[in-house]
Structure 1
Amino acid sequence: MAFAGKSIPRFDETDELDKIDDYNNPADESYWETLAGDPFNQLRARRKERELRGTLGDNRRPGDLNIERIKKYEPTPELLGTDIGSYLPAAIDYVRESSTFERAAGRTQYGDLAQLFALTVVGYCLNELAVPEKTWPSIPERQQLVRAIVYGLDATTLGGAWPWILAPYVSFKMRKRGKVTRSATPFIGDIMRFIRDPKPFRDSLRACLDELPEADVVLLGHSLGGVIAIDHIVNDLHAKVRGVVTMGSQSGLLHEFGVIAVGDARVFDTIPWLNIYHGRDYLSYLAAPVFSDGMIEDYRIDDWQPFPNSHSSYLRVDQDSMWKKVGELVHKAVP
C-alpha cells in the first residue's frame, strides 16, 4: 500500500495479534459479540464450581430455590417495549428451561445467578437481532437491559466492575462469516463497477449539478456516493461545489491502492472535506493521512452497532454530534 496502511483506522494498533481488543471488557463491542455468539458461555463456566451445600426441607437444595425464583420472573411492560422486547419471552423461557441453567443454579449464589441469567437472555436476544435489517441497542442500553432484568429478579444490583466470567472466546464474526460476506457484497460490487467504468457515475453527478438552481453546493455521499463525490472534486470539479461530506467511504483506501485517479489532491486547500467513519464499519476508511494537508478532517462515530449494521449507522437521525459536525462543515464551506 502506498501509504503503509494509513487509510485504515487503527491500522498500527490492530496489525499485530497482541494488540487486538480485550474480549473480557464489557465496555467493548467485542465482549457483546462474544456473548451474542454463544449466550450460554458464562453459565456454562459455572459447571466447574462446587454445588451449593445444605437443604431447605423436603430434600430441596439451594439450587432448587434459585430455579423456582427465576421461573416466576416475568418481564415488565417497559422491557417488552424495548428493542429486544419481541424476543424476550422466548429467550427467557429458552434459558431457564435449559439444562445449562439448571446445572449453574445449583452452583451459584442467587445474586450471581440472576446476573448470569440476565446476561444470557440479553445475549440470546442480540443473537436474534444480528441480521443486516436490524440494529443492536447501544452498549449503555444493553447494560441497562441487563440491570432491569436483575432488578426484576430482586437480586443484587450491578455496580462497579462487573464480575462476569467468560468461557474461551469463539469469534461471533467468524460464526456469521457467510451472513457478513453476503451483507457486504452489494457495497463491494458497487465499488467494483465504479472502478471498472467511472464515466457513467461522473456524468450523472455533473448533470445533476448542472440542473441545480443553487449556486453553492456541498456534496454529501455515503459509501460509493462518497467515492464518486471525491473522484469528482479531484478530477472534474464543478464550479458550484464548495465542500464535501463523506460517510463510510472507501476513498482513502482506493487512493492508497492507486486504483482511484487523483488529478489535483491540493484542491482540498480550498474545498473543506469532512470524512466520517465508524469504528465498527469495515467499509469506512481515513482520508486525511493519504490525500493532502488541506482542509480534510476525519471524524469517528461509534454507536456500537456491529458490522454490517454499522455501515448504515451514519444515516440515523439521532447521531446528534455527527450532524452537528456536518452543519459546521456546511457553514465553513458556504459562510
Structure 2
Amino acid sequence: MTTVLFVHGTGVRNPGYEETFKLIEKAVHLERPDVKVERCLWGDKLGTKLNAQGASIPLYDSTLALDEEEEDYSIVLWQQLYNNPLYELQVLSLKPGDETAGNPFGEKPGDELNSRVERLNPSTELQAKLDVAGIAEVFEPARDTVIQSEAYHQALQNASEELGEYRDAIARAIVAQAMLDCEQQEKHPPILTDAELRDEVVKLLSLALGEAELGIGDWVVKPLSQLAQPIGTFYLKRRRGIITQSVSPTPCDILLYQGRGDRIRDFIRAKIEQAEPPVVLLAHSLGGIACVDLLVQQALPPVELLITAGSQAPFFYEINALYSLEYGEPLPDYFPSWLNIYDLRDFLSYIGANVFPNKVQDVLVDSKQPFPRSHGAYWTNKAVWKAIIPRLP
C-alpha cells in the first residue's frame, strides 16, 4: 500500500495542522482510497518558540514591502477584508447619497435591504455551503456583528436605488467576519485558504439578499487602486511584536533548521522507516527543504516520489545555503522523482527546474489569495490535486 507522509512547514504547535492534514487525507482518498496518509508532525517537539516571551523583540514599527502591482482589485479588497471585515462598508459609507432616491418621508432604498439582512434564513443550498466552508457555527454571530456596526448603517443610509454593490459588500463583510472569528477562535476551516469556496459562499449569500452582481463598484475601486502597491506595508506595519508572533514561524524555523536541522531530518527518516512502502513525501515550505536535504544525504529506497509545495529548497540551493548540496553539484542519481508546486502570489515558493535541470517538474497554480495567505492555500486548490493524484504510485 502506498503511503503519503505529510511533512509540514512551520514548527511548534503548528497552527491548523490537524485541519490541514484532514483536508489532505480527504483529497487523496477521494481519488485514491487505497493510499494511506500519515502525519510527520516534527514541530511539536522540535519547532521554534519564543522561550523568553519575546524579550529580544524591540518595540518599534516594522514594514514589509511587497510588490503587488499585478494584483487585481478583488484580491486587494480581500486583503483588506481579512484584516478589517468592515473595510468595504466603511468606504461605501463615505459615498454621497442620492437625494432624489426614495420617499424623503418614508422608506429609503437601504431600509428594504437591511430588513432582508436581518430576516435572512439561509436556504438549504446556502446552509450546506456554510457547512462545507466550516463557518456555519459562526455565521449568525458574524452577521450580527456586521449589522450592529456603524459602517453598515451609514452605508445603507447613503444607498441609492442601485443596491447591487451594497448586497455584495454586505455578503463579503459577513463572510470575512466569520473567517476572522474562526481565526480568533484558533479554528482553521477550509474557507480560510480556499478562494473559490469563499466566493461561492459570498455569491449564495448575496443572491439571498437580492440579485448578486459580485463586482466592485467604482467608488470602492479608487481607494483599492491606491492600496495596490503599498498593501504589504498597510497590512504589516503595525506592532512588530504581533507580526513576529503571527507571521514569523517559517523564517524562525528556517533559522533553527539551519543550525539544528539534523534532529528534524532524523525525525522524518524515522517516520519513513515506519511507513509502509512505497512512500510519497508531501512536504510544505520548510518541510520541503528538510526532505530535499535528507534525500540528498542518503538513499532511501522506500521513497519513490517527493512532492514539495511552497518550498524554498531551490532558492536555498541557488544562494548556496542548502545544507546538503553545494551550488553547482547535481542531485545524486538515487534522488527520487520530484514534483514542485508553486504559486506566483506565494513569495515563499520557488521553481526547481532551472537549477536542477531534468530533475524537477514544476507546476504553477493560482490560489487567488494574497500573500501571506497564499502560502498556506495549496491544499484547498483543485489544481494542486490535479497535479498530485496522477503521480501517486
- TM-score, normalised to structure 2's length? 0.62
Partner of 1:272: 337
8 Å CA contact 1:53, 1:61 repeated in 2: no
Paired residue total: 306
1:262 is paired with a residue whose SS is coil
Aligned partner (choices 91, 96, 99) of residue 49 of structure 1:
96
Aligned partner (choices 197, 205, 209) of residue 149 of structure 1:
205
8 Å CA contact 1:234, 1:265 repeated in 2: no
1:267 is paired with a residue whose SS is coil
- What is the deviation of 1:227? 1.6
CA distance in 1, matches of 2:268, 2:85: 47
Cα separation, partners in 2 of 1:313 and 1:96, compared to 1, 3 Å: closer
- What is the deviation of 1:152? 2.2
How many percent identity over aligned positions? 23
1:40 equivalent in alignment to 2:79:
no
Larger radius of gyration: 1
Partner of 1:4: none
- What is the deviation of 1:296? 0.7
CA distance in 1, matches of 2:148, 2:279: 60
CA distance in 1, matches of 2:102, 2:273: 83
Question: 1:14-163 to 2 correspondence within 5 Å?
Answer: 17=67, 20-24=69-73, 26=74, 29-46=75-92, 47-53=94-100, 56=103, 59-63=105-109, 65-66=111-112, 69-70=115-116, 72-76=118-122, 78=124, 79-81=126-128, 82=130, 83-110=134-161, 111-112=163-164, 113-130=166-183, 133-135=187-189, 136=192, 138-153=194-209, 155-158=210-213, 162-163=216-217
Question: 1:1-335 to 2 correspondence within 5 Å?
Answer: 17=67, 20-24=69-73, 26=74, 29-46=75-92, 47-53=94-100, 56=103, 59-63=105-109, 65-66=111-112, 69-70=115-116, 72-76=118-122, 78=124, 79-81=126-128, 82=130, 83-110=134-161, 111-112=163-164, 113-130=166-183, 133-135=187-189, 136=192, 138-153=194-209, 155-158=210-213, 162-163=216-217, 165-166=219-220, 167=223, 169=227, 171-174=234-237, 181-202=244-265, 218-238=280-300, 241-260=303-322, 261-262=324-325, 264-267=329-332, 271-290=336-355, 292-304=356-368, 310-314=374-378, 316=379, 321-331=383-393
Unaligned runs of 5+ in 1: 1-14
8 Å CA contact 2:342, 2:351 repeated in 1: yes
Greater mean alpha carbon deviation, residues 112-121 or residues 300-309: 300-309
C-alpha offsets along residues 16-64 of structure 1, whole Å, 9 cap, x if unaligned? 95x623452x2xx33211223233333333433134336648x325257
Cα separation, partners in 2 of 1:325 and 1:267, compared to 1, 3 Å: farther
- What is the deviation of 1:299? 1.9
- What is the deviation of 1:327? 4.4
- What is the deviation of 1:89? 1.9
Of structures 1 and 2, the one scoring higher in RCO (CA 8 A, sep 6+) is: 2
8 Å CA contact 1:246, 1:274 repeated in 2: yes
CA distance in 1, matches of 2:288, 2:374: 16
- TM-score, normalised to structure 1's length? 0.71
- What is the deviation of 1:213? 7.9
Cα separation, partners in 2 of 1:165 and 1:243, compared to 1, 3 Å: same
CA distance in 2, matches of 1:94, 1:321: 35
CA distance in 2, matches of 1:210, 1:119: 47
Corresponding letter in the other structure for 1:272: S
CA distance in 2, matches of 1:210, 1:68: 60
